[in-house]
């Protein structure tokens, strides 16, 4: 009996040892597998995080480098940095917008238009991008598309409908310009500048007869009388401006009613007022006309010089020097 009990106890002890050994092995195996998985995870996650972080750092470096280059007028170098950004993170609207800006600065307007269109596909209602697109389209003389883009802006910001007047006039659509002017008037958004343009447009039918004085420059005047085209008017105004003829004011006033979107006519009208020492009127017409100047440095500089003369006549030396400096900067 005693022997049997001893044998039984011996068997139970061996069984307990085997169970403990089994569980020990199982626990060790579990920890080994868990630790292996943890090590593998630690190897893979940081690798992907490191790559993403590296790309993000490089993207920021190239992007800010591009902004710096643009600020120092190195537009081609800015484009190169932005293209690297585009490879790291394709179709980023900020990058596409900046690419468009830099191509525009280089005068490569078709490329500028392409990139701003890409950016607008991502965010179609972005006002800053739409305004940039309008600016490019005006430089390309694509006024119809510029009007469409500006209408989108005006739908959200009614005050920005004001630019539509100039765009319609540049598109030789006086009736549409008059319609927008009426809408702005109803909304009490008509500025002094636009009221002046409205007045010129509304009086165009009653002022198409030329001035009676036909003494000097008879050939140019006769030519304009026979055919009131812009080219004939430009020839006449050029001659009158050279001679400082008093008829410059009369014919430039007539020209504003016939061709309200031609900046040269505003320039000659401003010059005539300056010659007559009517400096406030000179500033008014020059400020109206400069909105029609697009991508023409020479005529823009001439506007600033006439503005400088007007401010000089008004004894505003600070502004006179400011506009003179603008003109000199453009002509350098």
pLDDT (tens digit, 9 = 90+) per residue, 246-256? 789 999 999 99
- More confident call, 2 vs 131: 131
Cα-based torsion angle of the residue sequence 98, 102, 105, 110 in order, rounded to the nearest 10 degrees: -90
Q: What's the pLDDT band for 314 if we cut at 50, 70, 90?
A: very high
Cα dist from 241 to 58, 156, 163, 247, whole Å: 58, 44, 30, 9
pLDDT at 37 over 60: no
- Own/partner long-range contacts of 115-119 (Cβ < 8 Å, ≥24 apart): 118/91, 119/93
Nearest to 168 by CA among 186, 194, 191, 192: 194
Is the pTM value of this prediction over 0.75? no
pLDDT (tens digit, 9 = 90+) per residue, 288-302? 999 888 878 889 999
The mean pLDDT value for 27-44 works out to 42
Highest mean pLDDT: which range of 105-119, 254-268, 287-301 = 105-119
304 belongs to a structural domain: yes
178 belongs to a structural domain: no
pLDDT (tens digit, 9 = 90+) per residue, 49-99? 577 788 888 999 999 999 999 999 999 999 999 999 999 999 999 999 999
pLDDT at 158 over 80: yes
58 belongs to a structural domain: no
Query: Cα separation of 267 and 307, whole Å?
Result: 10
- When the pLDDT of each residue in the chain is averaged and rounded to a whole number, the result is 83
150 belongs to a structural domain: no
pLDDT of residue 94: 96
**Burial letters 15-45, b for 16+ CB under 10 A, else e:** eeeeeeeeeeeeeeeeeeeeeeeeeeeeeee
Query: Cα separation of 93 and 123, whole Å?
Result: 8
258 belongs to a structural domain: yes
Radius of gyration of the chain (CA): 37
pLDDT of residue 22: 43
| Tokens describing residue 160 | 């920005």
pLDDT of residue 60: 92
206 belongs to a structural domain: no
Sequence-distant (≥ 6) Cβ neighbours of residue 151 within 8 angstroms: 164
- More confident call, 311 vs 226: 311
pLDDT (tens digit, 9 = 90+) per residue, 183-231? 999 999 998 889 888 888 887 654 444 444 444 445 888 888 888 899 9
Question: 14-18, 181-185, 258-262: which range is least confident on average?
Answer: 14-18
Terminal alpha carbon distance of the chain:
122
Query: What's the domain range around 275?
Result: 218-331
248 belongs to a structural domain: yes
The mean pLDDT value for 307-316 works out to 95
pLDDT of residue 48: 55
Q: What is the CATH number of the domain that holds 252?
A: 1.25.40.10
pLDDT at 29 over 50: no
Q: Quote the number of domains for the chain.
A: 1
27 belongs to a structural domain: no
pLDDT (tens digit, 9 = 90+) per residue, 115-152? 999 999 999 999 999 999 999 999 998 999 999 999 99
The mean pLDDT value for 302-320 works out to 94
């Amino acid at each position: 009996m005693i022997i049997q009990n001893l044998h039984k106890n011996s068997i139970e002890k061996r069984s307990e040892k085997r169970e403990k050994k089994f569980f020990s092995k199982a626990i060790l195996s579990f920890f080994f597998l868990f630790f292996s998985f943890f090590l593998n995870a630690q190897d893979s996650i940081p690798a992907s995080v490191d790559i993403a972080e590296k790309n993000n750092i490089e993207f920021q470096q190239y992007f800010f480098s591009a902004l710096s280059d643009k600020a120092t007028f190195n537009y081609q170098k800015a484009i190169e940095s932005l293209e690297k950004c585009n490879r790291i993170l394709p179709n980023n609207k900020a990058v596409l917008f900046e690419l468009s800006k830099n191509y525009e600065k280089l005068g490569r307007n078709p490329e500028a238009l392409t990139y701003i269109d890409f950016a607008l596909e991502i965010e179609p209602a972005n006002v800053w991008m739409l305004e940039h697109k309008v600016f490019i389209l005006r430089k390309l003389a694509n006024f119809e598309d510029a009007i469409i883009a500006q209408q989108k802006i005006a739908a959200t910001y009614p005050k920005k409908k004001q630019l539509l007047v100039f765009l319609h006039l540049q598109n030789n659509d006086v009736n549409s310009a008059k319609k927008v002017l009426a809408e702005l008037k109803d909304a009490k958004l008509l500025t002094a500048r636009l009221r002046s343009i409205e007045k010129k447009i509304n009086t165009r039918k009653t002022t198409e007869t030329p001035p009676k004085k036909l003494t000097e420059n008879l050939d140019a005047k006769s030519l304009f009388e026979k055919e009131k085209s812009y080219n004939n008017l430009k020839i006449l105004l050029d001659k009158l401006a050279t001679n400082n003829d008093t008829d410059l004011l009369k014919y430039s006033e007539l020209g504003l009613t016939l061709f309200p979107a031609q900046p040269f006519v505003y320039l000659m009208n401003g010059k005539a007022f300056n010659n007559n020492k009517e400096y406030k009127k000179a500033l008014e017409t020059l400020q109206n006309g400069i909105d029609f100047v697009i991508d023409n440095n020479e005529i823009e500089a001439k506007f600033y010089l006439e503005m400088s003369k007007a401010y000089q006549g008004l004894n505003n030396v600070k502004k006179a020097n400011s506009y003179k400096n603008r003109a000199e900067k453009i002509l350098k």
